[in-house]
Chains A and B, each alone.
Chain A
Amino acid sequence: MLTLSHVSKTFNRGTINEHMALDDVSLHLEPGDFTTVIGGNGAGKSTLLNMVAGVYPLDHGTITLDGTDISRLPEHARARYLGRVFQDPMLGTAADMQIDENLALANRRGRRRGLTWGLPKGEDEEYVSRLAELGLGLENRLGDKVGLLSGGQRQALTLLMATLTEPKLLLLDEHTAALDPKTAAKVLELTDKIVDEHHLTTIMVTHNMNDAIHLGNRLIMMHEGNVIYDVRDEEKAALTVGDLLQKFEEVSGGELANDRMLLS
């Protein structure tokens, strides 16, 4: 489904802040793979997602999605294939627009936008039933401005918007990191449900080792711009947090995983 071959990215090349975020990464995702990505700060997890999404241009390598080479496509052109949820709940929705307006914008992802009405009456029904699936009561609040919603509600809405028209690939960038534990659990549960129902190929970056172990069928660990560990299926199911910590200490030469990873 998704193939990265020899992808590299260096930020601030030629300056004192030069930082190699991705170092010749090759990765292949099968259709339906739900991959969780863990690693310390600066390991290149978010950069990996951003390179796939087209936020920054590639230095080297190619990215192929379902047979299409998307390496040189701009961000907005790749959007037709991708559903994205960001770490910051404020980034995924337009606060000053209504819930139904946000959904209508998402429903047109990757389609040519014209001069027909942006919020046709006929679409309400679908939005209501999809919102009802979230179980947050948003189905009765179609006309409310999104800015009135809580962070968790906004993140759930963003998740729905990202999957409203089925993406070829769903990119989740620490999408529960900014939420309180209870809300985070709820959003994760929704994530699992939606991915499962639609058999979405998914990459989820997380700093939470438990989540990384319990969700998905594949886990990769990154360190200093490289994929250093890649397990799937039964082998992944048997993993424990202890295993991951040990693995992490092996590659980082005894240096301990960062606090965020340990505490959660």
Chain B
Amino acid sequence: MLTALSGAVSQGLLWGVAVLGVFITYKLLDIPDLTADGSLALGGCVCAAVIVNMGMDPMFALLCSFAAGAVAGGVTGLLHTRFEIPAILAGILTMTSLWSINLRIMGKSNVPLLKCDTIFSRLSDLTGLSQSTVTLLAGVVIAGVTIAIMYWFFGTEIGSALRATGNNEQMIRALGVNTKTTKLIALMLSNGLIGLAGGLICQSQKYADIGMGTGAIVIGLAAIVIGEVLGQLMPGKLRSFSSRLISAVAGSIVYFLIRAVVLQMGMDANDMKVLSAIIVALALAIPVGMRRSRQRREYTKGGEA
């Protein structure tokens, strides 16, 4: 049970990188970007192909995963900004085409990395620690570094312009920012991170699979939503940008812990997706329901007092 939980935490940390990617589009840009499902699998497939088929370094493979994800995000971005295709549809188009592209990249639907080096096996050899401990520690470092870089980037002039694009597009355009460019950068960065997460997941589970990205967007949203609830439960209601990023990753860890627990309790792994969707739907629906019931409660006919 304990190993299962520690595995869940590692998984949550690695997926946390993808969640941070989803955070950029969903929370900062206000676009639910469906490219995510495709770009996560793309990151995994590219990683496996680079390591297994090309025999390259696993670290280099991760760079390729990031770059491939960024290109996928760029395609969605161009479809959306240049050709004014609605963002959701642009994401669906890219995601759908990535299915075929991923199969082409790997040549088959599943590529195992059994005898190949991964960054985790290397670190394990280097430190003498077990593979699962190394994955956990590396996950903490990778998620921490990603948060730090994002915190820095979104504080810069370009990063601020990007946040403003999601907040008030007309205003930031009147202040001289090309919002097509900022949206493109955001989509590339977001999917780059999701691709990177795909590569990390591929290396930690030691295989890449064509279906590994299915539902990634929902997992990302569920993690963000759980993270927000956690943030509100914390004393002082953490609202600062860095704490929002940290709670997104924390949400990802909690999501995979819940998943590990319900799987231990005998739930079918394939039912997990419907559970994720229910979590997201509930999280989005509950505030609306609470507002409605408050309005009903507070309504008075008047004239009685």
Residue B172 at the chain A interface, CB threshold 8 Å: yes
Q: Interface readout for A84-115 with B: 1 if CB under 8 Å, 0 if not?
A: 10100011111111000100111011110111
Interface check B100, CB cutoff 8 A: no
Q: Is the CB of A113 within 8 A of B158?
A: yes
Which residues 93-147 in A have Cβ within 8 Å of B in the complex?
93-97, 101, 104-106, 108-111, 113-119
A211 at the interface (CB under 8 A from B): no
CB distance B178 to A76 under 8 Å? yes
Interface residues on B, range: 20 to 34
Q: Which of B158, B168, B176 has the most CB of A within 10 A?
A: B176
Question: In the assembly, what is the distance between CA of A99 and CA of B161, in Å?
Answer: 14
Tier of interface size on chain A: 20 to 34
Contact (Cβ within 8 A) B177 A76: yes
Residue of B153, B156, B174 with most partner-chain A CB within 10 A: B174
Interface residue from A74, A76, A91, A108 paired with B168 (Cβ < 8 Å): A91
Q: Does B171 contact A (CB under 8 A)?
A: yes
- Per the bound structure, the CA–CA distance linking A82 and B170 in Å amounts to 14
Chain B: CB-nearest residue to A85: B174
Asked if residues A105 and B160 are in contact (CB atoms below 8 Å), the reply is: yes
Q: Is A60 an interface residue (CB 8 A)?
A: no
B112 at the interface (CB under 8 A from A): no
- Chain A residues 2-61 with CB under 8 Å of chain B are 53
Distance between A127 CB and nearest chain B CB, rounded to angstroms: 15
Q: Which of A76, A93, A108, A110 lies in contact with B157, CB distance below 8 A? A: A108
Q: Is B167 an interface residue (CB 8 A)?
A: yes
A120: nearest residue on chain B (CB-CB)?
A: B157
Contact of B70 with A by CB under 8 A: no
A118/B175 in contact, CB under 8 A: no
Taking the closest CB of chain A, its distance from the CB of B263, in whole angstroms, is 38
Report Cα–Cα, A93/B164, bound state, in Å: 9
CB neighbours (8 Å) of B171 from chain A are: 91-94
A149 to B155, CA, bound (A): 23
| B156 and A79 within 8 A (CB) | no
The reply on B214 being an interface residue by CB < 8 A is no
B183 at the interface (CB under 8 A from A): no
- How many Å lie between the Cα of A95 and that of B169 in the bound state? 12
Shortest B189–chain A CB gap in Å is 13
Residues on B with C-beta less than 8 A from A166 are: none
B173 at the interface (CB under 8 A from A): yes
Known: A76-B178, A79-B174, A109-B176. A97 touches B155 (CB 8 A): no
Contacts of A224 in B (CB 8 A): none
How far apart are the CA atoms of A113 and B171 in the complex, in Å?
16
A27 to B177, CA, bound (A): 28
Partner of A80 from B159, B176, B179 at Cβ < 8 Å: B176
Does A230 reach chain B (CB closer than 8 Å)? no
A113 CA to B161 CA in the complex, in Å? Answer: 8
Known: A115-B156, A117-B156. A94 touches B176 (CB 8 A): no
B164 A119 Cβ-Cβ under 8 A: no
Residue in B153, B164, B170 whose beta carbon sits within 8 Å of that of A105 in the complex: B164
Task: Pick the contact of A114: B156, B163, B175, B178 (CB < 8 A).
Answer: B156
Contact: B174 with A113, CB < 8 Å? no
Q: Which residue of A lies closest to B167 (CB)?
A: A94
Cα-based distance from A28 to B224 in the complex (angstroms): 54
Minimum Cβ distance to chain A for residue B280 (Å): 22
CB distance from A196 to the nearest CB of B (A): 23
Interface pair A119/B155, CB less than 8 Å apart: yes
Q: Bound state CA distance, A119 and B167, in angstroms?
A: 17
State how many angstroms separate the Cβ of A68 from the closest Cβ of chain B: 15
Residues on B with C-beta less than 8 A from A110 are 176
**Nearest residue in B to A147 (C-beta to C-beta)?**
B167
Q: CA separation between A105 and B172, bound complex, in Å?
A: 8
User: B168–A93 contact, CB under 8 A?
Assistant: yes
When C-beta atoms are compared, the residue in chain A nearest to B165 turns out to be: A94
- State in angstroms the CA–CA spacing of A115 and B159 once bound together: 8
Residue of B nearest to A53 (CB): B174
Whether B156 lies near A94 (C-beta < 8 A) is no
B160 touches A119 (CB 8 A): yes
Are A115 and B157 within 8 A (Cβ)?
yes
Question: Using a CB–CB distance below 8 Å, which chain A residues touch chain B?
Answer: 53, 74-77, 79-80, 82, 84, 86, 90-97, 101, 104-106, 108-111, 113-119, 161
Question: What are 22 A-B residue pairs whose CB atoms fall within 8 Å in the complex?
Answer: A53-B174, A79-B173, A79-B174, A79-B177, A82-B174, A86-B170, A93-B168, A94-B164, A96-B167, A97-B164, A104-B160, A108-B175, A108-B176, A113-B160, A113-B161, A114-B156, A115-B153, A116-B156, A118-B159, A118-B161, A119-B155, A161-B175
Sample of 12 more A-B contacts, CB < 8 Å, known A74-B178, A110-B176, A113-B177: A75-B173, A75-B174, A76-B178, A79-B173, A79-B174, A79-B177, A91-B168, A94-B163, A96-B167, A101-B160, A109-B176, A114-B156
4 interchain residue pairs of minimum CB distance: A79-B176, A118-B160, A113-B157, A94-B167
